[in-house]
């Protein structure tokens, strides 16, 4: 995984600062920012105080970028 990006930009594990669009499944990390239906669901849940992660930390990244192995 692209640890530097996920920890420093997406801010995984950093409470409200964590990006609301960062998700993970058995195939790895994903960003839902550019998926209109998922974005709408996530934004609604944030506005209803159902999410801890509330950040919007970038313009969205591809699954390939987020799961790229880095040293």
User: Per the domain annotation, does 71 fall within a domain?
Assistant: no
User: Per the domain annotation, does 22 fall within a domain?
Assistant: yes
User: Per the domain annotation, does 14 fall within a domain?
Assistant: yes
- Residue range 44-68: mean pLDDT, rounded: 96
Task: Indicate if the pLDDT at residue 60 is higher than 90.
Answer: yes
> What percentage of the chain reaches a pLDDT higher than 90?
93
Asked if 61 and 35 count as a contact pair (C-beta separation under 8 A), the reply is no
Give residue 12's domain range.
Answer: 3-66
CA-CA-CA-CA torsion sign (71, 64, 23, 53) = positive
CA angle 53, 49, 54 (to 5 degrees): 25
Q: What is residue 17's three-state secondary structure?
A: helix
User: Per the domain annotation, does 29 fall within a domain?
Assistant: yes
Q: What is the pTM of this model?
A: 0.90
Query: In the structure, what pLDDT confidence band is assigned to residue 37 with cuts at 50, 70 and 90?
Result: very high
What are the pLDDT digits (tens) for 1-20? 899 999 999 999 999 999 99
C-alpha gyration radius of the chain: 12
CB atoms within 10 A of CB 27: 8
Number of structural domains found in the chain: 1
Q: State the pLDDT at residue 16.
A: 96
């Amino acid at each position: 995984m692209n640890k530097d990006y996920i920890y420093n930009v997406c801010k995984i594990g950093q409470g409200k600062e964590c990006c609301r669009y960062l998700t993970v499944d058995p195939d790895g990390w994903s960003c839902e920012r550019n998926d209109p239906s998922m974005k709408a669901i996530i934004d609604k849940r944030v506005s209803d105080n159902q999410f801890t992660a509330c950040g919007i930390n970038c313009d969205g990244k591809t699954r390939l970028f987020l799961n790229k192995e880095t040293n």
